[in-house]
Amino acid sequence: MLPYLGYLLLLLLSKPLRAKEVVYDFNVTWVTANPDGLADRKVVGINGQWPLPVIEVDKGDQLVVNMYNGLGDKSTSIHFHGMYQNGTNEMDGASMVTQCPVAPGSSITYNFTVNQNGTYWYHCHTDYCYPDGYRQALIVHDNNSYFANEYEEEFTVTLSDWYHELAEDIKPEFMSVYNPTGAEPIPNSWLFNDTQGMSLSVKPNTTYLLRLVNIAAFTAQYFYIEDHNFTIVEIDGVYTEPTEANLLYVAVAQRYSVLLTTKDTADKNYAIVTVVDSTLLDTITPDLQLNHTNWLEYDASATKPQANITVAESSDLSPFDDATLIPYDHMPLLENPTVTVNVAVVMDNLDNGKGYAFLNDISYTAPKVPTLYSVMSAGDLATDATVYGDFTHTQVVDHMDIVEIILNNNDTGSHPFHLHGHVFQVVDRYPPYGSDFFEFADAGIPQPYDPNNHSAFPAYPPRRDTIVVPPAGYVVLRFRADNPGVWIFHCHIDWHLMQGLAMTFVEAPLMIQEKLTIPADHYAACVASDVEHEGNAAGNTVDLLDLSGQNQQPGWIPDGFTTRGIVSMVFTVLSAILGMGSIVLYGLSDLKHAKKPETQAEVSGQGVQGGQDDEYQD
């Protein structure tokens, strides 16, 4: 009896520790900020502050975020990037996927259990709002991690690009007939922890945990510390076998945790170097500063020299290949996929002249009803992908399917793809990180994945939630559909998401209907935003298979002559013929003037001419 009592006591005592509730009240308003010292701009602040607060919870906590939209002119939402939201799909925060946009003056509460660990971030997921500053790190501490006792202190480092214009003001120039190549807007500067030229103060001979998060809208950055190696222990919330590295390529939305042991002596400060992946930038003006130095500060009084960057091009750097990492839990390769999704990234123009991004031939176009709400209102038809519309690119999968995504890249740029609600196994990627990574960036001949001819899959593939697809290369990803919900799979370059580079997974829709209850305030957000929350993608509640009126991508550019072309061609030819007819008429009427010269020729030419006349007649 006594041991039982002790156990019960322990359980009672430990329970509040394990399951504490962490509440954040976010009043979202516009504030002014100037993090790069170049220009004041309007940014999205929380409770009047920017940079935004880092959300910190312990593994197992209940996270509650009460958000009030005080922006006044713009809808918003929060996506907790990397959170599996298993059983709480409605809290995923992606507008028109799992919720309605939260209109100005409305509130919404996100409430979910954080049963995972590691480095994450949160950001707005409504249209294109997070480049306006609405993004920050989210840290889930875990005292039971295998490396918990190996470090003394931890730092969170966010990397970001920075625009001086509001995304809504950039959009008209980006999505424009005058930007046919879809050249992405070039950031004005880059930030390190939402500032520049900062120092991380360290003691000698000490180990630190460095959490790197790329919270940028567009650009990946290389990261290294002069004369220091570090040990990778986590990627995107998944612990890895400790792996030594000295150079990382951190794409948008990716995270790395590294253990950094400082030097024995403290007489010198070392540069923490970030180098923007310049292959992403179409035009680089001379004033653009792509390399940045921050410092690992051993001695505050010592000099802080600017890093000496020896490579001419960022692509000359050869970063650590994340596809070679091994998860600490040694989860084996998922064999025998039951569903294979084979899609290719394509960039093209549609008939409004603007540049769009496609997976195969679909440019994701948000439905009229958030897809999750379509699931909830579709009954048995929820398993029919038709319900979700022709332009959400929806793939319905069953519970516990092994899903394989073959993602080919027909574009010559790299794309960091992110799947909500899951980490996927990276089973193959070509070309790998390193000197060959940009091999096809210029030649542009896509190298599609061949299931019958590929490199051997690793026994314990790395898992992450954001993976970079190489230029004109491919990745092959696998995940187990163990998380009923609606999950969007998209390129995390926000400009590409704007162009429609996304698709939707509807996972075990009938289980979603069983397990999920949409909170009243979520539906209320729809009413406030004037967005329908019932019916299929077209908002049709009667006939769920009738998609008339659904949101559509613009039409394809016709190749060759359309009716209008033929009609105008006919008129063109006709007017040319008539015009020439009039010339002929005019020409022939000149013959009346010809009499005189003719008689004159008779006089002057005399006898010579008779014989030669015939010769020239034909």
Partner 1 sequence: MANVFAVQVFFILFRECLEAVIIVSVLLSFLKQSLGQPHQDQAIYRRLRRQVWAGSITGIVCCLIIGGAFIGVFYGLGHDIWSNAEQLWEGIFYLIATIIVTVMGLALLRINKTKEQWRIKIAKALVEKNKHGKKSRLLGNWARRYAMFLLPFITTMREGVEAVVFVGGVSLGYPATAFPLPVFTGMVAGLTCGYLIYRGGNVLSIQLFLIASTCVLYLIAAGMFSKSIWDLQYYVFQMRVGSDVAEEGSGAGSYNILQTVWHVNCCNAETDNGWDVFNAILGWENTGTYGSVISYNVYWIFIMLCVAYMLWEERSGRKSLRERMLVVMAKVPGLSWYAKPKLAVLQENPEDIVRQVHSGLFNEEPVVEQQMVEMK
Q: What residues line the site for partner 1 (CB under 8 A)? A: 177-181, 183, 282-283, 348-349, 351-353, 355, 557-562, 564-566, 568-569, 571-572, 575-576, 578-580, 582-591, 593-594, 596-605, 609, 612-613, 615-618
Instruction: Write down the least CB distance from residue 251 to partner 1, Å.
Output: 25
- 111 and 23 in contact (C-beta within 8 Å)? no
* Strand-pair category, 485-491 with 474-480: unpaired
Q: What is the DSSP string of 234-298?
A: EETTEEEEEEEES-EEE-TT-EEEEEEEPPS--S--EEEEEEE-GGG-S---TT---EEEEEEES
- 139 and 195 in contact (C-beta within 8 Å)? no
Instruction: Write down the least CB distance from residue 442 to partner 1, Å.
Output: 12
Element (H, E) at 600: helix 595-605
Pick the closer one to partner 1 by CB: 339 or 350: 350
Instruction: Write down the least CB distance from residue 353 to partner 1, Å.
Output: 4
Instruction: Write down the least CB distance from residue 220 to partner 1, Å.
Output: 22
Pick the closer one to partner 1 by CB: 183 or 518: 183
Instruction: Write down the least CB distance from residue 277 to partner 1, Å.
Output: 20
Pick the closer one to partner 1 by CB: 330 or 595: 595
Say which DSSP state 90 is in: G
* Strand-pair category, 153-162 with 207-214: parallel
Cα separation of 97 and 504, whole Å?
8
CA 501-410-393 angle, to 5 degrees, is 35
Instruction: Write down the least CB distance from residue 373 to partner 1, Å.
Output: 35
Pick the closer one to partner 1 by CB: 351 or 546: 351
Name which of 190, 546, 555, 509 is nearest 380 in CA terms.
509
Pick the closer one to partner 1 by CB: 180 or 305: 180
Instruction: Write down the least CB distance from residue 607 to partner 1, Å.
Output: 12
Cα separation of 20 and 63, whole Å?
9
- 75 and 69 in contact (C-beta within 8 Å)? yes
Instruction: Write down the least CB distance from residue 190 to partner 1, Å.
Output: 23
355: left (phi over 0), alpha (psi -120 to 50) or beta: beta
Pick the closer one to partner 1 by CB: 152 or 351: 351
Pick the closer one to partner 1 by CB: 308 or 552: 552
Burial of residue 442, with CB atoms counted within 10 A of its CB: 0-12 exposed, 13-18 middle, 19 or more buried: exposed
Cα separation of 441 and 116, whole Å?
37
Pick the closer one to partner 1 by CB: 335 or 613: 613
Instruction: Write down the least CB distance from residue 503 to partner 1, Å.
Output: 22
Instruction: Write down the least CB distance from residue 208 to partner 1, Å.
Output: 45
Sign of the C-alpha dihedral computed for residues 202, 33, 72 and 166 taken in this order: negative
Pick the closer one to partner 1 by CB: 287 or 615: 615
Name which of 600, 488, 591, 499 is nearest 553 in CA terms.
499
* Strand-pair category, 339-349 with 402-409: parallel
Residue 131's φ and ψ, nearest 5 degrees, are -60, -15
Radius of gyration in angstroms for the set of CA atoms belonging to the chain, rounded to a whole number: 31
Name which of 429, 427, 466 is nearest 447 in CA terms.
429
Pick the closer one to partner 1 by CB: 87 or 353: 353
Name every residue whose Cβ is closer than 8 Å to that of residue 603 and which is 6 or more positions away in sequence. Answer: none
Q: Which residue has the tokens 């991380």?
A: 200
Cα separation of 63 and 83, whole Å?
11
Pick the closer one to partner 1 by CB: 266 or 288: 288
Instruction: Write down the least CB distance from residue 186 to partner 1, Å.
Output: 12
